[in-house]
Amino acid sequence: MDRKWWTLIVVSIAAFMLLIDLTIITVVLPDIQSDLHAGFSSVQWMIDAYALTLAAFLLSAGSLADRYGRKRLFLIGLIVFTGGSVLCAAARNADLLTASRAVQGVGGAILFATALSLLAANFHGRDRGVAFGVWGAVTGIAAALGPVAGGLISLSWLGWRGVFWVNLPIGIAAIVICVLTTPESKAQHTARLDWGGFLTLTAALVALVYGIIRAGEVSWSDQLALGCLIGAVVLLAVFAVIEARVRQPMFDLKLLRIPTFLGGSVAAFAMNGSLYALMLYLVLYLQNALGYSALMAGLQLFVVSAVSMVFAIVAGTLSSRGVPARWLIGSGLLLVAAGLFAMLGQGPDSGWTGLLAGFVLTGMGSGLVNPLLAETAVGVVHYQRSGMASGSNTTFRQIGIAVGTAVYGTIFATTLGDNLRTNLAGSPALAARAGQIAGEVRGGSIAQTVTQFPVQLREQVGVAVHGGFATSMDTLFAVSGGLALVGAIVSVILVRGKDFVSAAPEKPAVAAVA
């Protein structure tokens, strides 16, 4: 078999491992929280540590690959990601798991940045279309199978650690195949590394997310939280100055002057910042409040993934027949918003079927949006800048997840206590303990929280807790739906057909990354 097909195999294996890991962990987070006695903010950081490092390293990783070799960087990414997975599996406390997730994010950034360029360097003509079609199919299947796979693995003797151990044999196989078969390739002209931009962007994102999470834990008047938020704004301003003045920026700010690129970036942030950032809280609601197992929660969320895969094919067909990207992205985000709004109205007696219509609508919407987002980035620039453009689009998506997760956590923490005080207002003694109860609920111990009360009070407390949780989820549905709606409006206004570059050499289709 020609070596280029082995390259497709190894890239597909890596893509499967990487993308299934984005969704496989979500359904086992309640188990992790319970086993490691992790606080609510720790669970948020398990998601954000991965998203932040992925966003921060993505653009720089592409430049490193061009300079030092795509195969070499791809191997480094495989080793780092696989090693990070082992560290996650072996973690004995929440802090170690969060740090290990950050290591995974570094490896993931390198893999994302080099996978498509490896295929582009080894495939040409008709074979290139076949290669990217296979790669896109693998990524779609991996993203869809993640929740179910996580639920199934959690039932094994390995428990939640199994979702990380599974990466070890897959990673080793990919490393061996890559070493033996994949040829090296480099760019003829490479850009200098933009260390100033990398450091200021990373510090700004970490400060922003930490400030939001701490504000939810303590208060918005907390000096450390305010200092972090102010520091994030300053660092982002410094980042913008550096990128405007440096000769070879990792992110060219002039791209934001292209309406379609700006609209696509807003849509990317809105897509991930609404539905995908909300997944953590949906899982907590399904498992902690409604009492479903990790497997059942995974099967329920599979509805979103399965519908999304079907409508991704619909989006590709409509796009090939000339339907403008603005209408596909705009209508997709509008469906996501409609699905999130359809989940409103949860109460103490609600079950998961009350979410089903919303799952279907959000799946339809995300399926329409995801295949078109990358094209709003790579399709509006010269092909030689497509790497930066594609990386920027993925960066906006990961920032959406990181910021959305932090914001929703803060909203949830703030509203839950208020909701419990309202629900327990008829019993002043219980209402006085609303803050304590809310803290225990955020820690994932609803059943334990209820059973600590006298028998005659348990039903009252149970109804108050489940009602408070459901009302807080309503707030999250409303906020996330509003974000998706804004993304729909902005994308319809800004994404324009005339911005797309018509004369360019053959470009690979870039699969969407959640």
Burial of 246 (0-12, 13-18, 19+ CB in 10 A): middle
- Amino acid (one-letter) located at 510: V
- Amino acid (one-letter) located at 353: T
Closest by Cα among 269, 284, 317, 301 to 514: 269
Question: What's the pLDDT score for residue 1?
Answer: 60
Q: How much is the pTM?
A: 0.83
d(CA 32, CA 93): 9
Q: What is the mean pLDDT of each run of 10 residues along the chain (514 residues)?
A: 79 83 80 84 85 82 76 91 94 92 91 77 70 70 78 82 91 90 71 81 88 82 90 93 85 86 92 90 85 86 88 83 88 96 83 88 90 76 65 83 87 84 78 74 69 76 81 93 96 86 47 48
For 349, the token pair is 């007696």
Task: Give the contacts of 404 (CB within 8 A, at least 6 positions apart).
Answer: 272, 273, 274, 276, 277, 278, 480, 483
- Amino acid (one-letter) located at 15: A
Question: What's the pLDDT score for residue 362?
Answer: 94
Question: What's the pLDDT score for residue 419?
Answer: 83
For 16, the token pair is 């499967």
d(CA 14, CA 33): 28
Task: Give the contacts of 428 (CB within 8 A, at least 6 positions apart).
Answer: none
Contacts of 122-125 with C-beta under 8 Å, sequence gap 24+, read 122/3, 122/4, 122/7, 122/8, 122/182, 122/183, 122/185, 123/4, 123/8, 124/506, 125/506
Q: Using only C-alpha atoms, what is the Rg of the chain?
A: 23
> At what angle are helices 167-181 and 70-90 packed, to 10 degrees?
160
Cα dihedral 401/406/409/414 (nearest 10):
-140
